[in-house]
Chains A and B, each alone.
Chain A
Amino acid sequence: MAESHAATVEGSGPSTTALAHHFEDMEQQREAGTLGMWVFLITEIMFFGGMFLAYTLYRSKYPDEFARGSRELSILLGGINTVVLIGSSLTMAMAVHSAQTGNRKKLIGFLAVTLLLGLTFLGIKAVEYTEKFEHHHFPGVNFKLGEHSETASQVAQKPDGAAAQPQAQKPVLDSKRVQLFFWIYFAMTGMHALHMIIGAGALSFLIYYSRKGRYTPEYYAPVELTGLYWHFVDIVWIFLFPLLYLLGLHE
């Protein structure tokens, strides 16, 4: 992606001067850029894959604790963010289409809306994170769950020996394992948010150069490739939302 952006710097104007010296023609350059982006996205899948593996392992090992942790997340905020991101994918697609058809005004407009939606997502995420920190849901020494929940240590403190006969409906939860859920939550959503920030940077870059009129129907690879990246980051969230937020529902 960065490479295709850079390729344009060499030429003073749009279209054919955007061709880097080592490519035969624009078609070859576009092909290389697109394939490069796809390969990059595959590395991203493998990168997130490591965390998905950890998630799968611990969720199957500790289903109750994961459901418990999940119930602390706000489905409303997560849901709004899901809608926001899907909307931004739509506007991103419209931006690519506008670049294709050479409508510069629309291109800048759609890019700006996409950026705005991306920032909205990050803003809501920040609200969620703040709330988690305030409620001591960030794993570590200060971690604790809400009043209404019973963790193993709290049950053990009860004088009447309730720990010896836990009710069948309410399994005793291990606080460490709930922390594992939150740790995976923070790792995955944090890594996703980092990708959103990088995407927002790329969008700002595109807006800047669109205003300068760099992209034409012959040369709009950077817009197209950023679009691919943006859609990928959205898709990751489409997986994260049900896996992390909707777990607690099945009870």
Chain B
Amino acid sequence: MISTAPKPSEVIVPPQRHYLNAGYGVKSWLLTTDHKRIGLLYLASITLFFFLGGAFATIIRLELATPAGDLVSSENYNKFFTMHGVVMIFFFLIPSVPAVLGNFLIPLMIGAKDVAFPRLNLLSWYVYNIGAIITLYAIIAGGVDTGWTFYAPLSTTYSNTNVMATGVGIFITGFSSILTGLNFIVTIHTLRAPGLTWLKMPLFLWAHYATSLIQVLGTPVIAITILLLAFERAVHVGIFDPALGGDPVLFQHLFWFYSHPAVYIMILPSMGIVSEIVATFVRKNIFGYKFIAFSSIAIAVFGFLVWGHHMFVSSQSVYAGMVFSFLSMAVAIPSAVKVFNWTATLYKSSVSYQTPMLYAFGFIGLFTIGGLTGLFLAALGFDVHVHDTYFVVAHFHYIMVGGAIMGYLGGLHYWWPKISGRMYPEGWAKLGVLTIFVGFNLTFFPQFLLGYMGMPRRYHAYSEEFQVLNVMSSAGASILAVGYLLPMIYLIWSMRYGPVASANPWPSTGLEWRTSSPPPPENFEKTPVVTWHAYEFKPRDQAEIVGEF
């Protein structure tokens, strides 16, 4: 039940004119420069890739239900886990929250009419899709088998699968990520409404600002790396293959210089979502606002200094290993700062247990497990023991699926009334979040045990003693699949049949809730002037919000 259902006397009427009915037809969508519509275009694209990546995961879990490699050959298995990784990371997780919710919300949250460069924003969606189509071609033409990490010289010389097309696809899609990051940085710097100082901004914006920094600083490095790799593969001259005089570990350094911070591209925006949800559903100013805000920046900065923890056993010197080990543990501090501050916000508060809040709880719990096991892996000795085992697989799925996707779905539910103008069905949504939570833990917790026992990742067969835990994992995966299908079905259903949402259904304090649901094309009737802090709530019995404009 929504805590602030409208008083019986007032009936919610949807706005006459809003961004969804501002124009009809394919052209009004494909040529739109409205950040809200572009957010929805991205939503459609990445949802497709999410389920494609999920299909690959299904094949992997089916194969691993039995110890023998009986469903797919080892060559095909290599392809399936590679394509699962490529699709999920580059085509779903990286764009997920920023390109969908960030696009939709950042201008609304700062009281602007649009992002700074609306055309570049639309261009980024097209660039994403061009890269996506090329990658789809690579998949259909027979796939790629190098692992999503594309280590040389396997990728440059020995693999005879579609490394080239996949690389080109990822290279192109990288530019959509750069464009999004660039747009957000400039938007947040230059388009904030009068009165909205940096320290009055919602934490969602701080998180996205930090994310954009990583996108802008990291993505060009993976771009040049892929480019050099592609040339090396094409003309057999280059700098990575030892047969050509090169150094394959250089590739690993360049790759992880981007790909470790990329983890923060995936998780930081979800952390921003959790901050918004926690504040709203306990109706309290968030505890330690400045700490949460600056911890996002700290994560973005320190995240660039820890990539070497992926090379503890790849010829990196012991001293470098020690430094990277220390720095990797240090980067846990800003993450822990966030978790502690959310928990402190919850302390002695009364919580409304609605779906977005349940997702936020899921995020906090699962991210904590993922983060703590990350500390295990940052320890040199332990890492050597579990390197390339299922322990690592479980760890990063707790961060990316348990963390990032929980946050993404929580945010999607939280802002769904704003996006669609309709409420989602609360009962179904609660069932969904519960299914996901149970399914997720059943899928991935056994993998910690498997890894600790020594089961290596990336093999399609394993020894008998691992079967019980693998069957548990596969069973969990099928529950998880149901859990992910549920929101897709009821959210689409609610667009037509859900109850009409008010402008501020929860209610919350953010600027995005001070315009109609869905918002008009220009976002606000008149430019707002911000006089309140991001999370200035009135007591619970007073439903209205602080600081009308």
A contacts, CB < 8 Å to B: 2-3, 6, 20-24, 28, 31-32, 35-36, 39-40, 42-44, 46-51, 53-54, 57-58, 61, 139-141, 174, 176-177, 179-180, 183-184, 187
Across the interface, A42 reaches (CB within 8 A) one of B112, B217, B238, B246, namely: B217
Q: Give the interface SS of chain A, mostly helix, strand, loop or mixed.
A: helix
Whether B216 is near chain A, meaning CB under 8 Å from some CB there, is yes
Shortest distance from the beta carbon of B226 to any chain A beta carbon, whole Å: 10
Given contact pairs A22-B112, A180-B246, A42 touches B189 in the complex (Cβ within 8 A)? no
Q: Are B178 and A43 touching (Cβ within 8 A)?
A: yes
Q: Are A47 and B220 touching (Cβ within 8 A)?
A: yes
Q: How long is the Cα–Cα vector from A140 to B238 in the complex, in angstroms?
A: 9
Whether B185 is near chain A, meaning CB under 8 Å from some CB there, is yes
A to B CB contacts below 8 Å, 25 in the list: A2-B120, A20-B118, A22-B112, A22-B191, A28-B190, A32-B186, A32-B187, A36-B117, A36-B182, A36-B186, A40-B182, A42-B217, A43-B216, A46-B220, A48-B224, A49-B220, A49-B221, A50-B224, A51-B224, A54-B250, A180-B244, A180-B245, A183-B237, A183-B238, A187-B228
Q: Are A184 and B182 touching (Cβ within 8 A)?
A: no
Chain B residues with CB under 8 Å of A23's CB are 191
Across the interface, B119 reaches (CB within 8 A) one of A3, A53, A61, A176, namely: A3
Chain A residues with CB under 8 Å of B238's CB are 183
Q: How long is the Cα–Cα vector from A11 to B153 in the complex, in angstroms?
A: 53
Q: Are B185 and A35 touching (Cβ within 8 A)?
A: yes
Q: Are B221 and A46 touching (Cβ within 8 A)?
A: yes
Q: Are B245 and A177 touching (Cβ within 8 A)?
A: yes
Whether B160 is near chain A, meaning CB under 8 Å from some CB there, is no
Given contact pairs A21-B113, A42-B217, A180-B246, A35 touches B189 in the complex (Cβ within 8 A)? yes
Q: How long is the Cα–Cα vector from A31 to B190 in the complex, in angstroms?
A: 7
Q: Are A184 and B191 touching (Cβ within 8 A)?
A: no
Q: How long is the Cα–Cα vector from A5 to B32 in the complex, in angstroms?
A: 18
Q: Are A50 and B186 touching (Cβ within 8 A)?
A: no
Q: Are B190 and A35 touching (Cβ within 8 A)?
A: yes
Across the interface, B116 reaches (CB within 8 A) one of A32, A48, A177, namely: A32
Q: How long is the Cα–Cα vector from A179 to B239 in the complex, in angstroms?
A: 9
Q: Are B245 and A50 touching (Cβ within 8 A)?
A: no
Q: Are B120 and A3 touching (Cβ within 8 A)?
A: yes
**Closest Cβ neighbor of B232 among chain A residues:** A183
Known: A47-B224, A57-B250. 19 other contacts (CB 8 A): A3-B119, A24-B527, A28-B191, A32-B116, A32-B117, A32-B186, A32-B187, A32-B191, A36-B186, A39-B182, A46-B216, A46-B218, A50-B220, A50-B225, A139-B237, A140-B235, A140-B236, A180-B244, A180-B246
Shortest distance from the beta carbon of B122 to any chain A beta carbon, whole Å: 11
Q: How long is the Cα–Cα vector from A22 to B107 in the complex, in angstroms?
A: 10
